Copies of this chain bind each other. A is one copy, B any other.
């Protein structure tokens, strides 16, 4: 489970609720028509903007960010070095056997292509296309949350304008101004909460996830190409280490 996402959202919402309750009853912040115009309207905008399928896909991906655990990049480099040594000693076909222990589908595909005898350049080209379109698909998830983070405050403003116009039309009763304006502001409040506490950070998280997945896949391509071209394992390790921070580099040789 991704603790940082859960803690972060919990902290932000918890502190907000605390601030609300400390100042008065929570009930004055709950107004069904206001929730409907902001949540429903934003959902409507999103459905016009994106096809059904993409929106539900994005929600599914968002759920995954609460459960997902990244595999350390060092383990991947170690695994690739192991395959390199195996391929050097027993030939490239020996990777066939090693594939059963591999969980990552992308690495499996790359190994299958290597075992199938494809050229290093073909392998790189095809896998690069795959990375490029993975980025486009992942980008759409982040995009949808970014769009919601833009539509929610806009619908909040629409709701507040409606409330203001109605309030101003019956300004005769001054005692009703305060509560009417408070209700009018609620939609702006909902919009700000949806945008800033939920959707904007979520979009950021999805972008970060995508970036680290692309880094993983880029390392796999570099590694498999080194293996296919029978490069010196030390050079290969140096190449793979160039992608990560110096303090994360644990050589399999100097140990």
Chain A residues with a Cβ under 8 A of chain B: 3-5, 7-13, 15-16, 18-20, 22-24, 28-29, 33-34, 36-37, 40-41, 43-52, 54, 105, 113, 118, 122, 126-127, 129-130, 133, 136-137, 147, 150-151, 154-155, 157-159, 161-166, 168-172, 175, 177-179, 181-182, 185-186, 188-189, 192-193, 195-197, 200-202, 204-205, 208, 211, 235, 238-239, 242-246
| Docked CA distance A5–B162 (Å) | 24
22 CB contacts below 8 A, A to B, read A3-B52, A4-B52, A7-B47, A11-B43, A11-B47, A12-B44, A15-B36, A16-B158, A16-B162, A18-B36, A28-B166, A45-B200, A48-B205, A129-B239, A130-B242, A151-B196, A155-B196, A161-B189, A165-B186, A168-B182, A169-B182, A171-B177
Given contact pairs A179-B171, A185-B164, A18 touches B45 in the complex (Cβ within 8 A): no
| Docked CA distance A186–B238 (Å) | 53
Q: Which residues of chain B are near A5, meaning CB under 8 Å?
A: 47-48
Q: Which residues of chain B are near A13, meaning CB under 8 Å?
A: 44
Q: Give the 5 A-B residue pairs with the shortest CB-CB distance, closest first.
A: A171-B178, A8-B47, A12-B44, A49-B204, A11-B44
